[in-house]
Amino acid sequence: MKNIDIIYRNESGIAFYWKTSKQGTLKAQVIFRDMGFYFTLDQLKKFAYLSEETLVQQTCKDCPAPRDCRSLLLKTPLNDVDLAVSRQEVYEIQDLLDQTILRMEMQAFMQTALN
């Protein structure tokens, strides 16, 4: 953990900056459910939008556990990568993404304001 600066963490995952990354590029490593994505702020915003779209999908009609069933398809900013997730996981991922975006935007604003 000494090679990273944590942006945000919740029950489902963590978002952080690599201390070794280039200073000019604002990218965050976002990890949840044993998967990691290294995204720019714009990609994170697109991912957050896609997660909202996922919530309008319906689970199986007679599903005994609709909040925990991984029957929803979450698209990612990577065209070739989609994830099977539960409704509860989407809510947790949304929190992780929203808070990461907010904190990255604040950092970008502060860098601009101080220059």
Condensed to tens digits (0 to 9), the pLDDT of residues 68-83 reads 788 899 999 999 999 9
Neighbours of 49 (CB within 10 A): 13
85 within 8 A of 69, measured Cβ to Cβ: no
Rounded Cα distance between 104 and 45, Å, is: 11
93 within 8 A of 85, measured Cβ to Cβ: yes
pLDDT value of residue 70? 85
pLDDT value of residue 85? 92
pTM recorded for the entire structure? 0.87
Q: How many domains does the chain have?
A: 1
Low-confidence ranges of the chain (pLDDT < 50): none
Residue numbers of the domain that contains 94: 4-114
